[in-house]
Each structure stands twice: as C-alpha cells, then as structure tokens.
Structure 1
Amino acid sequence: MNRALLSLFFYANLAIVLTIAGYRVYLYASAPDSSALLVGQIEAIEAEVAGDRPLRFAVVGEGNNSIGVLERQIIPRVNSSGLDFVVSAGNLVSGGGEDKYRALLGTLSHLDIPYLLTFGENEYEEFGSARFYQRFGPHFYSFALPQARLVFLDATGRTPTDWQERWLRDILQVDSPKPVLVFVGHPLVPPEQETLFEPDVGAWSESTNRDRLLALLSDLGVDMVVSAGAATFSDQTVGGVRHIVTGGAGGFVLNDDASFYHYLEVSISEGDISVEMMRVDTAPTPLMRQIEGLWFFVYSLFYVGWLNFLLIFSAFVIAGMYLYNRLFRERRYYPDYDSRVAVDLGRPLKVVMFTNTYLPFIGGVAISVDRLKKGLEKLGHEVLVVAPAYGQHVEETGVVRVPALIEAGGLIRVANPLHPRTWQAVRQFGPDVIHLHHPFWLGSLGHRMARRLNVPAIFTYHTRLEQYAHTIPLPGVLFRNVIAHWLVRRFANSCDEIIVPTPVTRDYVRLIGVDRPVHVHPTGVEIERFLPQEPCQLAALRSRHNPDGRKILVTVSRLSKEKNLDFLIAAMRELKDRHAPPFRLLVIGDGEERAHLTRTIRDKDLTSEVSLVGSVSEHHIPDYLGLSDLFVFASTSETQGMVILEAMAAGLPVVAVNASGVDAFVQNRRTGVLTEENIEVWTDAVHALLVNRSERHAMARAALEEARQHSVERFSTDIARVYQTAIGARSKSKRNGALRSS
C-alpha cells in the first residue's frame, strides 16, 4: 500500500482516538443535572396502588443497556400488560460510565409506568456509584405499600454490610402481615443451573457473610429475595425464604435451557405472592436463538458503547500499523554507497541553519552553530541562521531573529514558529540545504521548510534529550525511557543526513532505530584563540581570582541539574578534607541552579575553595583557561563535551567522569584521566595531578596535540562535504524517479 495512504490512515485513526477521548471528557464535564429520580418514581407508585387492590409489577435483571431485548422486546410487553411498575434487580447498565447512564435514561424514557432500581455491580463500576446516587438516589433504600414492603440492598461493598444489616433489623422488627421482598444485586443462593460465566460476587459472597445474612432474612420473616448477577433463571427456597435469580433482560445469554431471555411478573394479593416467569423467544430454532443472543449482545455493545467500539477499533488499527511498520518496512542498516556521491555545484553553497539557542546565549549548541557558520563563511559559503531573538533587536549579518513567545530565565527563549517573516527570509535566501540543530520547535519549522522547498534536511544530534527529563512536565521515567528516544528517532529518520559528534553517539542513534546515513564530525575548536594569553591579561585575572597563589581548577558549565555540579562540589569537600595542596575551583557559567549551588557551597564550608564566576563572554573563556592548571568535569549528559576540547586546546589536562561525549577526546592517562562516577575515585585522580607536576605537564602537551586534530577549518570542510553528499543523493533520487515514471 502507498506509504502516504498508510500515513493518512494512521493519522485519521489517531484523530478518532483523540476526538473520542475529548468527547468522553465532555460527557463527564456536562453531566445532566437530574437527581433523586427514584423519589418521583416512588411517589408515582404510591399514588397508583393506593387501596387494597392486588399489586402487579415486573422484575428484570441483567438489562446491560440492551437495545434488542430490554428496550425493544421487554419494555413494549410490560407497557401493554397493565402492570403497576417495573423493578430492576441489578445490572441494568453494562457499566457505570457516563455514556452508559445516559443511554439508560433514554431506555427508561420508553416506559409508560414507574420504575425502581437495585444498585448492582455494573452500576458501581467505572466510578458509577456517584452517578447512580446523583441521578437516582441512595444505594440502599426501602418503602412500604399497602400490599407489601420492598427493600433494596447494596451488595457491591460500597455500603458496609453491618450497617445495612442493622438497618434491616430496624425497619423489619415490627411484626407486620405485609409480605417483604428484598432485592439484591448478586445471588445469595447459587443458581440451580450452571452458566457460561460465574455469577457476580459481592458484599455477601463470602460464606460467613452470606450465612449471616440468610439467617437474618429468615429471622426477620422476609418472604422473597430477588437478585440479578447471573444470566439464568433460578427459583429455590432456603430457610423458609424464596430466592429467585433473574438474569434474562439483555445480558449475554446462550438461549438454551439454562440461559434464556425472560422477565418476571409478580402479583401480590391478600398477602400471597405469585411469580410468573415470562420467557422472551423470537427465533424459531435453538441454533438461531443462540445466534440471536450473540447478535443482541454485540449489537447492544455497539449501539450503546459505539464510542468505545471506535476507540478500541482505532487503537487496534494504530497498533497494527505500528507493527506493520516495525515488521515489514524495509530498513537500511548499511550505507548505500552508490548514492553517496558529493556534488560540487560550482558555486558557494547557500545554507540555512535552524537552532533553538544562539548567541548571546552561552551553551554548547549555540557555540557550535556559531563556529560552523563562521567556518563555512571562511570557506566562501553563504549561511543564514534562524534563531530566537534575545532582547533589543540588533541587525546581524546572516542571522534572522524570530520573536520570542516565552522568555524563561535569563536567556532561554521559545521562539514563535509561525512568524511570517521567517518563511519570507528563507525563501528569499534560496537555500541549497537546511541544517537543523534541534529535533523540535524551530527545528520542526526548518524541517517543514526543507520539504516545501524540496532541499535536503540535515540534522545534527547535539543533546541527549533523555537527560532533561526533570525539565519536562511529564512523568520523568516515561520521557526518559520512551518519548525522548522516539522523538529523536522519528525526527532523524525524516531527514536526509544525520551528523553526530562522536562514535558513541552514532552507536546510540543506530540503537534507537535511526536508519539514515550518519556522519561523525565533532564540532571544531579555534586553536589559535586558546594559545597562551597575554601576560597582562592573566595577571589581572590572577589578582582577582587567585591572589593567594593556589592551584586553579576550572570547569565551564551551565548551572543546571543535568551537569552534575553537586558531584563536583562534593568532590571539592573531599579534596579539602584530604589536605590537598591549596586549590580553588572556578565554575564558569550561569543557570537555574545557581541559588542551590551557592547554598551548597556555603553549607559545605567551601566559600574559599569554590567560586561561581557566572557567565563569561566566549572571547574571555581562553583567559580563564590560561589561568588554570587543571580542567575538571562531571557531566554525564554530553554528546560531545565541547568545553573539554577547548580546555585541551588551551593545554590543560582533564579529569572527568567517564561518559559518552567525553571519552571520544580524553584518552585515559594520556590527555587526562577518566573515572567512574565515584567521588573517592574521582578525587584521587584530581589529587594525584595536583601533586605531580611532571605528569600534569605531560598530559597538557598531549591534550594540545589531540585538540589540533579538531580544528574549525577541518570541521567546516567536513560538514560542507556532508551537504554536497546530501545534494547529490537527492539529485540521483530525482533522476531515478523520473526514469521510473517515463
């Protein structure tokens, strides 16, 4: 089947699911105001049967919102039989949901006589007890007529049994010649016939509870107990009390000798009770009756619960299409080398980049985008960056600022993806490729533009989204284990080429199911910027941050939870307790955790050893690195850890927690030390380098040598090659498509 048609079918069913879910919310929010309907029914019955004339009424059980049997077969017969009222012995609805109760009100509107309801298991489930109480009245009640007393019990467990039993003693202790009929939602005596489904169980199903109630009913002189809860008819006498089970008003019956459609006609005259079982037969043969019973059951489910039917059907369709996609859609696990041919357009490339963060925001993605932009422009290419606006608008060459919808914190911006100027600027620029640096928001906007303009979409996976579960208003485990990976996979597979900074990250995107071509290219570093700084600049920094000549540790990090800075501060406390050479840690960066970290530093008595420097201009970062002796890092959420490469370019050895994005550059015991996320072990590594100058200097030289392999020039050239490869692959695909159609 055509993939576009499958997608349409999938999203149509998804829309059905969401629409039905919304409609169900509407049902609950707009419940009818009707209340205490049974009060009016009892008053109508009392007015109708005044005097000593015989009392005649119908009893139905297991109505289950049946349309075919209850509404279309039994109710017309009851209306034409001259009966005084009708009683439900329980399970008149198929469930306690709002839609079931609304359907029940529609069915009851067909009655020409009053009705009384027993609170059964079906009325109770799906939070139905509140709906029953609101619309009809209490879950147990009683009233007396001249001919008899009728008692309705709550067998669901909603009302305590000891309370109801005490209530029974109170209302029945007066010796009266009137017959007493008790209605209860589940059988107190097992039916004589076995049924396909076990009878309902409830508050008096346990043998001790049941025997206690049976003895009480016998002692109080109850004449008859009528119950639903089983799709059969049974009439037995136990302890002098007649027990009738009636369950043929619409539940799933087999239409055989044990299970069949029926209702009861009860007559009470001068203290005598007469019960006649009225069988409802329509089909002429037993086989046809069984087929008819199954049809009535399914028809009722569909008629009353058609929303549920569609919901379940659509859910199955979505699940089936998902499985089809997983099992039968072709996947490319190996590169298609025939189509990976770079195309030189004979002119500079025109590249549009979409990013959710950009300068002046200081962060890994923003700096990476800026370096790539400058590197490509240095190679002669044209670049347009689409990024959020930060504060007052300033004209910038090659940058389109999108107005912010939301401003959070100092520099976090959520841009307006519907801003019309963005589309206009990109169209006028006329890109050859569109490079996306986030899999959502402006990244999604860029993706739509790439498809509209029919140019390749390139996606760089910068950020481990699952590490940001604490910032998302969803259950953290759900986002971390499912949604984050699904989001990355779905977005990446809709792009032409994927760029990742490290081999470990490439392995991750393959593991989660990305089957597009993946290129490993770490963001380059501007080596010249990090060469030894001017002595006067270092002297000024030293007098401000290190006047007492300590060893300087430095880290560059946003002050946020995923950067693991609490670990770093705890290690500094451990280092101080070991009486290590005097040191001071400079934490460069800012963020929402600043207040928390300030308190932690104070509480651990580290105000002299740890300094939160705050945000520092990108141009001044090399000065701070040049001042330092050792770069330390504890984050486990990086895809690359670009600040580590910068520290190495400044000739600093690195001590870091061994994690993805770090191990690609730090060669253990050569350019730095990688440890497990253990404070004791990590502190051992820092302490050893602080006291061993020769090893520290050897690692510094090796770090600088490694950093030189990752220059911005090389990085920009490699990314331009990816662009040209994407253009070539798309051109070949167009040619092949034209050949197939000709």
Structure 2
Amino acid sequence: MNRALLSLFFYANLAIVLAIAAYRAYLYAAAPDASALLVRQIDRIEAVAAEGGPLRFAVVGEGNNSIGMLEREVIPRINASDVDFVVSAGNIVSGGGEDKYRSILQILSHLDIPYLLTFGENEFEEFGSTRFYQRFGPHFYSIALPQARLVFLDATGRTPTDWQERWLRDILQSGEDRPVIVFVGHPLVAPEHETLFEPDRGAWSEPDDRDRLLDLFDRLGVDMVISAGAATYSDQVVDGIRHIVTGGAGGFVVNDETSFYHYLDLSADRDGIQADLVRIDTAPTPLAQRVEGLWFFVYSLFYVGWLNFLAIFSAFVLTAMYLYNRLFRERRYYPDYDLRVPVDPGRPLRIVMFTNTYLPSINGVAVSVNRLKTGLERQGHEVLLCAPSYDDQRPEAGVFRIPILISLGAAFRLANPFHRQTWRAVREFQPDVVHLHHPYWLGSLGLRMARKLKVPSVFTYHTRLEQFAHAIPLPGALFRNVIAHWLVRRFANRCDEIIVPTPITRDYIHLIGVDRPVHVHPTGIEVERFRQRNPTQLAELAARFNPDGRRILVTIARLSKEKNLDFLIAAMKELKARQAPPFRLLIIGDGDERARLTSTIRDAGLTSEVRLVGSVPMQDIPAYLALAQLFVFTSVSETQGMVILEAMAAGLPVVAVNATGVDAFVQNRRTGMLTEEDLDAWTDAVHALLVNRSERQTMARAALEEAQTHSIERFAADIVRVYLIAIGAWERAGKEH
C-alpha cells in the first residue's frame, strides 16, 4: 500500500479514537438535567387509576435500547392500544453507560403514555446505578393504586436484600385486598424452556435466598411476579404464584416457539389480574424471522453502541498497523555506507529555511539560524528564511515574516501555517533544498512544501524537547520519556539529511531510532568580533556593574526553568559563604522566570553578588564578556550551547555542568572546568579559578585557540556540502525510479 495512504489511514483511525475519547468525556461532563422522571410518571398513572375501573397496562422486558424493535415496533403498537401505561420489567437499556441512558430517554420520548422502570442488571453495569437514580428515581419502590399494588425490587445487589425484604414486610399486609404484582430484574423461577443464553443472575439467584423471598411472597399474598433477564417467554404457576418471564422487546431473540418478540397486555382490578401475550411477527417465514432477530440486534448495537464498536475497531487497526510496522518493515540498524557524493550545480544554491523562532528574539536557535543565513549569503547563495513575525522586528533582506496566530511574549510566537502567501513565496523562490530547524509547526510546513516541490529536506536538531516538559500541558513523564523522542524520531526519519551540533547528540539521534544520514556540524561564531574591545564601552559597563572592582562572572541564558539557574544562584550563595574573593555574577538574558529569580536572589542575600542584567543586544555581548574573568554555565538542556563558544572566543575559561552540548567544546582542565551537577564540586571549580589567576589565563588562551576552529565561514561551507549531498542523493533516487 502507498506509504502516504497508509499514513493517512493510521492518523484517521487515531483521530477517531481520540474523538471518541473526547466525546465520552463530554458525555460525562455534560449529562442531561433530567431527574426523578418516575415521579411525574407516577403522578400521571395515579390520576388515571383514580378514575376507577380496571387498570390496563403493558409490560416489556429486555428492551436493550432496541431501535428496530422497541422504538419502531413495540412502542407504536402500545401507543395504538388502550393501555394506560407501560412497565419495563428490566434491561430496557443495553448497558449503564451515559450514551445508553441518553438513547433510552430518546426512545421513551415516543411514548404517548406514562411509564415505569425496573432496575435490572443492564441498568446497573458501567456505573449505571447513579445514572438511573439521578434520571428516574430509586432502585426499588412501590405504587399503591386502587386496582393493584405494583412493587419494583432491585435484584442487582446494589441494595441489600435484607433491607428490601424488611421493606416488603412493612408495606404489604397478608390480608391485602387488591392484587400484588412484583417486578424483579431476573427470573426467580427458571423459565419453562431451555434458553439459548443463561438467564441473568442476581441478588436472589442462590437457592436459599430465592426460597426465602418466595416464602415471603407467599406469606404476604403476592399474586404475580414478572421478570426480565432472559430472551424468552415463560408463564407458569409455582406454589400459587404466577411467574412470567418476558424478554421479547428487543435484543437478540431466536424467533422460535419460546424466544420471540412480544410484550404483555395486563388488566388488573380488585377481582384479579388478566395477562395476555401480544406476539410481534414482522417477517413472513421462520427463517426470515430469525434473520430479522439477528438484524435487529446488530442494528441496535451499531445505532446505540456504534461509538464503542468504532473505538474498538480503530484501536485494533492501530494495533495491527503498529505490529506490522514493527515486525515487517525493513529497518537499518547499521550506518548507511552508500557512497554519498555532493553534486556541483555550477551556480549558487537557492535555500529555503523554516524556523519557529528568529530575531529579534534572542535564543540559541534564532542566533544559530541567523549566523547560518549570514554565512551562506557571504558565499553567494540565496536564502529565503520563513519565520514568525515580531512586533519590534527590523526589515531584513531574505526574511519572509509569517503572521502569527498566538503570541505569548517574544519567547513564543505561533505562526500561521496556513498562510497562503508563504506557499506562494516559496514556490516563486524555486528552492534547491529546504532546511528545517524545528521538528514541528513551521518545520512540518516546510517538510510538506519540500515534498510538494520535490526537493530534498535537511533538518537541524537544535533543541532537547524533553527538557521542556514543564512547559507542555501534558503529564511531564509522558512527554519527557515518550512524546518528545517520538516527535523527533518521526520527523527526522521523514527528512533526507540530519545535522546535529555535537557527537553525543548524533548518538542520541541514532539511539531513538533515526536511520537517516547524520552530520555533525556545530554552529559557527564570528571569532574576531568577540576579540574586539571598545575602551569607552568597557569603562561604561565597569562603572555600571563593577564600580567596586570585584571579579566578574558572567553567564548568558534565557530565564527559564530548563536553564538550571536555581543551581547557579545556590552556588553563588555557597561561594559567598566560603568567603571567596569579592565577586559579582552578571546573568544576561530575560524570560518568564525573572520575577521568581529576583525573589530567590533577594531571599538568598545576594543582591550585591548577583545581577539580572536582562536582554542585551547581540552587538553588545562581546563587551559584557570582555568585562568578565570567568564564564559560568549550569544548563543541562543544550544541544550545543553556543554561548560557551562565544565566551571562549572572548578569551574566557568556562566552568560548566558536564552535559550534552557542553562537553564537545569545554575540555576539562584545558579550556575550562567540567563537574557533575553537584553543588559542592561545581562551587569548588569556580572558587579554584577565582583565586588562581595563572590557571585562568592558561585556560583562556586554550579556549581562544579552540574557538577559532569554529568560524561562521567554515560552518556555512560544511552545511553547503550537506545540501549538495542531499541534492545528489535526491537526483540519484529520481533516476533510479
């Protein structure tokens, strides 16, 4: 089957399952206001009975939410008869779910006369007892009419049997001068004929319990017991009490001499009870009747329980597709050693990029994308960068701004993926390759465009999504351990080439199951820009942030939870407690944690030692780094940590928590110090470099030397080679097909 069609089928079934789950949640949250409906029904019945004369009513059993039989055959016949009301002997619903109760309310609305319901096994299951109680009334009750007394028992076990038996003794007198009819949800006496399915069992099914109740009926003068609980008709007298089992108002019947569609027509007055069977035959032959019975059952299943059926079917389809994918899809567990040769088109490339974030927002991805764009354009290539729009954005050649749908400050801009002008701009640009910088939203849009335009797609893995679980409205462990990795794997495997900034990130990409070619290329930096010094600007910054001549530590980080700034502040508190040389930490960056971090700094007594500088223009970053003697970094969520390379280019040794995105650039005890995420060990490293000027200077020189190998020009050239490899592979694949 075509892969795209298979994918569409998979997501269609997934959408069905999710939609049904949402609908189920809606049913529970938006239950109808109908309550105590039996009270109004009893008032209407008592009004009719008060007129005198025999009381005539119909009795149905095993309605089972039947549309074909109960709603379309039984109810119209009852409405056309002269009965005063109708009684369900039990199981008028096929289950106790919210959808079943909503359906039966709709069916009962077709009645022209009042009704009474017996609480049976189907009404009870799936937490249905509460729904029955709220919508209709109590599970057991009695109606004393001039012509007869009607008693409804709860045979499900929901109400204790000894309580109900005590209640019966209270309301019934042995000398009752009117007939007594008891309705109970399961048969107390086995039906006369063997049934296809075993009758329902309930609270009085055990022999001792049944005999005790029947003996109580005999002593209290009960005349008739009517039960549901079996798809049959049975009428027999046992110990002077007439027992009728009626189960033909819906559900599955065999349509033979003992199991057929029917209802009872009863007439009661003080002289006694007359019960007549009303058989419903709608098919001309026995075979047609049996087929009809099966059809009515299946029809009701689909009509009332179709959501259950659809959910189960879709779940099976999803499971089957998953197993097929796991068992039969060919997988590549070793690297692809096919010769991947870059092609030379003989002209500059046209490159389209898609990113969910860009300048003026200051973050690692935005800066990395900007540097790549700059480097590519310096080499003569044409770039069209598609990015969200910002309120304070500046015009920039080669940047196409997409209107946003949702804005939560500068850090989160949700661009409109349906913007038609975006499609038009990309088509008119006629790209040779599409470069994607996020595995979702605009990244997904760019991937669709690449496929539509039949050009290769390249994906750069910038961000450890699992570290943002705190910002996602899903269970943290679920997103962190499953969804984030699934999202990256699924997206990356649909692209042609993958770029990562460090070897350890490449290992992660392979570990989660990405089988596409992976290239390691860290983002370049403008080394010379970080070596430039402006004495006037340095003097101004020193007067502002270091008037008392302390040793300056600096870090650059967004003020958000994943940057681990609480650890950094705790280390500064420990450093102060150790009476280290006077120091001041400048934290450059802004974010949604600013207010909380300000309070944390104040509560720790560090208002003189730690300053939240806020967001700083990119062109001023070198000056702030030149002011410092040491760069500190505690984030554990980086894929690269470009600010570390920038600090090294400025000639600063680095003290950092050993984590991905850091260990690729900081060589422990050569360009800086790496420790575990341990407060004492990390503070020790900072303290050691603060007091050892010679070691600081040695590491500073090594850091600068390392940084000079990561220029923007080299970075751009490496990425162009990946583009040419992707184009070559795409062209070869096209020729093979």
Where on the TM-score scale, by shorter chain, does this alignment land: which range? 0.7 to 0.9
How far does residue 736 in structure 1 lie from its aligned partner after superposition? 1.6
Query: Per the alignment, do residues 258 and 333 of structure 1 end up closer, same or farther by CA in structure 2, a change over 3 Å counting?
Result: farther
Partners of 2:177 and 2:270 within 8 A in 1: no
How far does residue 59 in structure 1 lie from its aligned partner after superposition? 3.3
Query: Per the alignment, do residues 685 and 121 of structure 1 end up closer, same or farther by CA in structure 2, a change over 3 Å counting?
Result: farther
Query: Per the alignment, do residues 613 and 248 of structure 1 end up closer, same or farther by CA in structure 2, a change over 3 Å counting?
Result: same
Aligned 1:76-225 pairs, distance under 5 A = 85-97=85-97, 99-101=99-101, 103-104=103-104, 107-108=107-108, 115-123=115-123, 140-153=140-153, 171-172=171-172, 176-185=176-185, 199=200
Partners of 1:635 and 1:657 within 8 A in 2: yes
Residue by residue, what CA displacement relative to the aligned partner does 1:66-92 show, whole Å, maximum 9, x if unpaired? 356655776688789876543212220
Partners of 2:632 and 2:655 within 8 A in 1: yes
Aligned 1:350-389 pairs, distance under 5 A = 350-389=350-389
- Of 368-377 and 626-635, deviating more is 626-635
- Of 565-574 and 403-412, deviating more is 403-412
Is 1:655 matched up with 2:655? Answer: yes
- Of 564-573 and 278-287, deviating more is 278-287
Aligned to 1:523: 523
- Of 209-218 and 177-186, deviating more is 209-218
Residue by residue, what CA displacement relative to the aligned partner does 1:87-115 show, whole Å, maximum 9, x if unpaired? 21222011345653454356557768653
Query: Per the alignment, do residues 661 and 146 of structure 1 end up closer, same or farther by CA in structure 2, a change over 3 Å counting?
Result: same
Query: Per the alignment, do residues 618 and 114 of structure 1 end up closer, same or farther by CA in structure 2, a change over 3 Å counting?
Result: closer
- Of 40-49 and 563-572, deviating more is 40-49
- Of 570-579 and 635-644, deviating more is 570-579
Structure 1: unaligned runs, 5 residues or longer: 738-742
Amino acid at match of 1:2: N
How far does residue 374 in structure 1 lie from its aligned partner after superposition? 1.4
How far does residue 674 in structure 1 lie from its aligned partner after superposition? 2.8
Aligned to 2:717: 717
- Of 432-441 and 602-611, deviating more is 432-441
Aligned 1:478-517 pairs, distance under 5 A = 478-517=478-517
Query: Per the alignment, do residues 594 and 141 of structure 1 end up closer, same or farther by CA in structure 2, a change over 3 Å counting?
Result: same
Residue by residue, what CA displacement relative to the aligned partner does 1:611-670 show, whole Å, maximum 9, x if unpaired? 111111222222222222322222121111111222222233322222222222223333
Amino acid at match of 2:615: S
How far does residue 225 in structure 1 lie from its aligned partner after superposition? 5.0
Structure 2: unaligned runs, 5 residues or longer: none
Aligned to 1:604: 604
- SS at 2:655 equivalent: strand
TM-score relative to the length of structure 1: 0.84
CA–CA distance in structure 2, aligned partners of residues 251 and 400 of structure 1: 63
- Of 240-249 and 561-570, deviating more is 240-249
How far does residue 119 in structure 1 lie from its aligned partner after superposition? 3.3
Query: Per the alignment, do residues 694 and 33 of structure 1 end up closer, same or farther by CA in structure 2, a change over 3 Å counting?
Result: closer
How far does residue 371 in structure 1 lie from its aligned partner after superposition? 1.0
Aligned to 2:591: 591
Amino acid at match of 1:586: L
Query: Per the alignment, do residues 107 and 591 of structure 1 end up closer, same or farther by CA in structure 2, a change over 3 Å counting?
Result: closer
How far does residue 425 in structure 1 lie from its aligned partner after superposition? 3.4
Aligned to 1:688: 688
Is 1:671 matched up with 2:665? Answer: no
How far does residue 35 in structure 1 lie from its aligned partner after superposition? 7.3
Partners of 2:148 and 2:269 within 8 A in 1: no
Amino acid at match of 2:120: G
CA–CA distance in structure 1, aligned partners of residues 81 and 136 of structure 2: 25
How far does residue 403 in structure 1 lie from its aligned partner after superposition? 3.3
- SS at 1:305 equivalent: helix
Query: Per the alignment, do residues 478 and 223 of structure 1 end up closer, same or farther by CA in structure 2, a change over 3 Å counting?
Result: farther
Aligned to 2:61: 61
Aligned to 2:575: 575
- Of 173-182 and 502-511, deviating more is 173-182
CA–CA distance in structure 1, aligned partners of residues 479 and 332 of structure 2: 27
CA–CA distance in structure 1, aligned partners of residues 539 and 112 of structure 2: 100
Query: Per the alignment, do residues 646 and 211 of structure 1 end up closer, same or farther by CA in structure 2, a change over 3 Å counting?
Result: farther
How far does residue 317 in structure 1 lie from its aligned partner after superposition? 2.7
Query: Per the alignment, do residues 304 and 434 of structure 1 end up closer, same or farther by CA in structure 2, a change over 3 Å counting?
Result: same
- SS at 2:515 equivalent: coil
How far does residue 409 in structure 1 lie from its aligned partner after superposition? 2.4
Query: Per the alignment, do residues 221 and 502 of structure 1 end up closer, same or farther by CA in structure 2, a change over 3 Å counting?
Result: farther
How far does residue 164 in structure 1 lie from its aligned partner after superposition? 7.3
Query: Per the alignment, do residues 60 and 616 of structure 1 end up closer, same or farther by CA in structure 2, a change over 3 Å counting?
Result: same
Query: Per the alignment, do residues 478 and 164 of structure 1 end up closer, same or farther by CA in structure 2, a change over 3 Å counting?
Result: farther
Query: Per the alignment, do residues 73 and 388 of structure 1 end up closer, same or farther by CA in structure 2, a change over 3 Å counting?
Result: closer
Aligned to 1:740: none
TM-score relative to the length of structure 2: 0.85
Q: Percent identity?
A: 74
Partners of 1:200 and 1:230 within 8 A in 2: no
Partners of 1:492 and 1:498 within 8 A in 2: yes
CA–CA distance in structure 2, aligned partners of residues 703 and 209 of structure 1: 88
Residue by residue, what CA displacement relative to the aligned partner does 1:182-212 show, whole Å, maximum 9, x if unpaired? 334467899998996684657x999999999
Aligned 1:430-579 pairs, distance under 5 A = 430-531=430-531, 533-534=533-534, 537-579=537-579
Query: Per the alignment, do residues 49 and 710 of structure 1 end up closer, same or farther by CA in structure 2, a change over 3 Å counting?
Result: same
RMSD, matched Cα? 4.4
Amino acid at match of 2:344: D
- Of 591-600 and 444-453, deviating more is 444-453
Query: Per the alignment, do residues 340 and 73 of structure 1 end up closer, same or farther by CA in structure 2, a change over 3 Å counting?
Result: same
Query: Per the alignment, do residues 662 and 256 of structure 1 end up closer, same or farther by CA in structure 2, a change over 3 Å counting?
Result: farther
Partners of 2:195 and 2:230 within 8 A in 1: no
Amino acid at match of 2:515: D
Partners of 1:96 and 1:127 within 8 A in 2: yes
Residue by residue, what CA displacement relative to the aligned partner does 1:99-136 show, whole Å, maximum 9, x if unpaired? 53454356557768653222334335567667656765
Query: Per the alignment, do residues 643 and 70 of structure 1 end up closer, same or farther by CA in structure 2, a change over 3 Å counting?
Result: same
Aligned to 1:407: 407
How far does residue 728 in structure 1 lie from its aligned partner after superposition? 0.8
- Of 365-374 and 696-705, deviating more is 696-705
